Structure 1
Amino acid sequence: MTTKATLRRAALAHRAALPAAEVAQRSTQVCEQLFQHFPVAQWRWLHVFLPLARRNEPDTWRIIRRLWSEELPVRLAAPVVQPDGISLKHYELTPATPLLENRWGIPEPVAEAAEVAPALLDAVLVPLLAVDEAGHRVGYGGGFYDRFLAQCRPGALFIGFSLLDGPPLARMADVLPTDVPLHAWLTPGRVWRF
């Protein structure tokens, strides 16, 4: 079994080596997976992370712009890291929402936007670097998403979003009791369900 730290280093190196054209192509493919395999138009609220482009994260703006251009009834929420450095709040994202980069360079809605309670969310797109067969994920190691997902309502879908294809690992060595598993993992090549 491999530790999260080892998996994190390997996945970050793999993703960092992807050329820009490959990142764009894989982002398009993984975004298409969401619309092909999930009832997006039936959701009231979708939580979406905003990509950190310099770290080759999936370009979720493709989903956001598609929802806005097709005028689907889905409302969007995006996270904002709080001053305590360990928690997130969530704000509505509209075409008019101003964004500011946080200390890591991640765009965030400004706090004047309407706050969205985790209990309202129908689905959450979750950034990740690796995942195992039970749906446990490796993120950046801050625990932000595990704390956030634990606040969501029962029945909300947690969907991992990655540019790197599977298969999932058999098992990670250091899964914690506070780790919240995903319901699905979207890659450019397929959808995995847990």
Structure 2
Amino acid sequence: MSEEKSRVRDILRARKDAMVPEDRLKKSLMITRHLMNIIGKNETVMAFTSKEKEVNTKPLILSLLERGNPVIVPIIQKEDVSLRLSYLRDFSALVPSTFGVPEPIGSEIPADPKDVDTIILPMLGFDRAGGRIGYGAGYYDRFLAKNPDLKKIGVAFACQEFDGLPVDENDILMDYIITEDGIVYRA
């Protein structure tokens, strides 16, 4: 399975890397609009902070903060391959950190996973059955295994869809998958 996943990741990475920055931003804004329509005004949202070639979550985070939704972001802990959580009140608190991911290092406001209603997850790829494939380190899969009751929303570009994604028992299905085309999967 891991050899197949590695092959699929290479294909999906190439698709994502082929996108031009202008298209990425335009499609990220469309994804943000779709997300804002399904996230309740009182929900506490855990959102990943995007790197360059991912769905840009800055517009989403700014929209949530403007609307008054509490926003929590993950901080990668390489030592034990886990995620530590922090509230984010100001986007400018984010600085590039582990793997180049923007994190509120030095400005942390500790958060508890029990505070999270909805989690927005990065995906390298997805299928129409709710399957998600990440980058391979398993940070989010471990977090979700410990916190199974969260509303799980995976976001990706439409070009990252892959029929028959190789998922195994450790892979947790999404409740929603959203692309620039809208909700492409709902549990």
- TM-score, normalised to structure 1's length? 0.86
Separation in 1 of the partners of 2:105 and 2:161? 37
| Deviation by residue 1:145-183 (Cα, 9 ceiling, x = unmatched) | 0011122252x21000112357662x333x232222110
Read off the aligned partner of 1:46 and give its amino acid letter: V
Question: Tell me, what secondary structure is at the counterpart of 2:41?
Answer: helix
Quick one: which amino acid aligns to residue 63 of structure 1? L
Runs of 4+ in 1 over 6 A off after TM superposition: none
CA shift in 2, pair 1:17/1:168, >3 Å: closer
Check the 8 A contact 1:3/1:172 in 2, yes or no.
no
* Displacement of 1:112: 4.5
Q: Which residue does the alignment assign to 1:117?
A: 112
Please name the residue that 2:178 is paired with: 186
Long gaps (5+) in structure 1: none
Give the % identical residues.
Answer: 25
What residue in structure 2 maps to residue 51 of structure 1?
A: 50
Provide the residue aligned with 1:11 in structure 2. Answer: 12
Deviation at 1:103, TM superposition (A): 3.5
Letter of the 1:131 counterpart = F
Find the partner of 1:105 among 100, 103, 106.
100
The answer to whether the aligner puts 1:176 opposite 2:168 as a matched pair is: yes
Q: Does 2:155 match 1:161?
A: yes
Q: CA deviation at 1:93?
A: 0.6
Q: How many residues align?
A: 185
Q: Structure 2 vs 1, CA of residues 151 and 124 (structure 1 numbering), >3 Å: closer, same or farther? A: same
Q: Could you tell me how far apart the structure 2 residues matched to 1:104 and 1:28 are?
A: 24
Unaligned runs of 5+ in 2: none
- Tell me the residue number matched to 2:136: 141
Correspondence 1:39 to 2:31: no
Q: Distance in 1 between matches of 2:30 and 2:63?
A: 14
Q: Is 1:97–1:113's contact at 8 Å kept on the other side of the alignment?
A: no
Q: What letter is aligned with 2:48?
A: F
1:111 CA drift (Å) = 5.2
